[in-house]
Amino acid sequence: MKPAPDQAPQFWRDPALPFIEARAIADGRLVCYNRHAHQQFSIGSITAGHSTYLSGHTQCRVSAGTLVLMNPGVVHACNPIDNQPWSYRMLYVDTPWLTALQHELGFSPQLDFRPFAETHSRDPQLFTELQQLYQALVNPENDTLHKHSAVVAFFSELQQRLNPAPSSPRYSNHKLERAAHFIRQHCTEPLDLAQICQAAQLSASYLIRAFKQQYGLAPHAYLVNQRVQYAQARLRQGAAIAEVAQAAGFADQAHLQRVFKQHLAATPGQYQGPALA
């Protein structure tokens, strides 16, 4: 039986982030797997129902709220039980990219990829964060910096909780200040994570964690906040809203409208209207 369009597998890829792809299955009964393996590291979330999960020599029953982890090259399969409905989301991450992240987090650069010992996890925080990462990736309104930062943040947290490094590098605050200054100076440009890291001479994993600790916002949120402030200044000068949206680096006027209201609880038009004397 051919699956209905809304039940067919959904794939996500972005040429700007070639090291990761996503897949969602709304009805796992329509998709059964032979035992197989991937070159990438794979992680998935069971979002409804339950299934039988095989990973290497381990077999268990997994249900909604479970994360499943598959190391590169490990034979695995995840199939429905007695035709009962279940659904899931998967992320596939290139092993060299994840290995480089492990090195940033404190593993020796001489070491290859360090496999995860766990085949699955019921950690509710990681489960929620994986759902948030998936939504961030598939949302067409999110720019590359937002998506890339979300990927680094999630997989750094995953490493620290389930596969921790012996130590983490520490840098002085002036490098974080350099990152913030670079964002402020270039806030209307389409920045990516690599540019900010290069300007600050920081690894992506450290920047994502430490920047939020110091400034209360992740680098992408800090960038958006700077764009809103830039838009405010232009609106006060009487510039047209559509012109301000383009100049500030927003996708379009609707994007500016939505973000502006989230930050200031007012639309650009309301902000630009006559002020009280």
* Domains of the chain: total: 2
Per the structure block, which two tokens stand in for 181? 């200054």
* pLDDT tens figures, 218-227: 999 999 999 9
- Full-prediction pTM beyond 0.85? no
Distance CA 201, CA 80 (A): 48
3-state helix vs strand vs coil in the chain, percent to 5 = 45, 20, 35
Same domain as 181, residue 102: no
pLDDT at 252 over 80: yes
Distance CA 249, CA 261 (A): 16
Distance of CA 139 to the CA centre of its chain: 11
The strand pair at 67-70 and 120-121 is best described as antiparallel
Same domain as 199, residue 64: no
Range of the domain at 102: 5-162
| Residue 6 pLDDT class (50, 70, 90 cuts) | low
Per the structure block, which two tokens stand in for 187? 């806030």
Query: Residue 269 sits in a domain of what CATH number?
Result: 1.10.10.60
Same domain as 99, residue 216: no
Phi, psi of 239 (to 5 degrees): -65, 150
Distance CA 147, CA 184 (A): 20
Residue 147, Cβ neighbours under 10 Å: how many? Answer: 22
Query: Residue 42 sits in a domain of what CATH number?
Result: 2.60.120.10
* pLDDT tens figures, 66-96: 999 999 988 888 777 777 778 889 999 999 9
- Candidates 224, 238, 227, 228; CA nearest to 269 is 238
